[in-house]
């Protein structure tokens, strides 16, 4: 019998993987949406701008140390996205020893 964590298509013919969720059961997003009474995007936006942001601030204020820094850093990416890394190429002279060169920045 296959162990848990296998991907689709690895089960022996005629056997089905163990059912993790009953047929017709609602997923977590649907349950959350129903619990806070959201039916469309404008209601979600309204919830985030009122109750959601207040709760988020309260939870972040409870954090300290690394937990606070990690959460704060992750949230700042929604305000100021990370810059994409770019590769810099330089044409250096091959006939000179670059270990003894002086480089100045203006």
Model pLDDT, residue 44? 79
Long-range contacts for 66-75 (Cβ within 8 Å, ≥24 apart)?
A: none
Contact at 8 Å (CB) between 98 and 92? yes
Q: Is the pTM of this model over 0.75?
A: no
- pLDDT, residue 63, reads 92
pLDDT < 50 regions, the chain: 1-2
């Amino acid at each position: 019998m296959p162990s848990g964590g296998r991907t689709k298509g690895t089960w022996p013919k005629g056997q089905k993987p163990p059912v993790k969720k009953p047929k017709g059961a609602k997923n977590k997003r649907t349950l959350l949406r129903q619990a806070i009474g959201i039916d469309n995007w404008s209601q979600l936006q309204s919830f985030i701008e009122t109750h959601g942001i207040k709760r988020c601030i309260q939870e972040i204020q409870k954090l300290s140390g690394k937990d606070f820094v990690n959460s704060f850093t992750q949230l700042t990416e929604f305000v100021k996205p990370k810059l994409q890394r770019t590769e810099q190429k330089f044409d250096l002279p091959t006939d000179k020893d670059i270990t003894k060169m002086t480089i100045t920045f203006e």
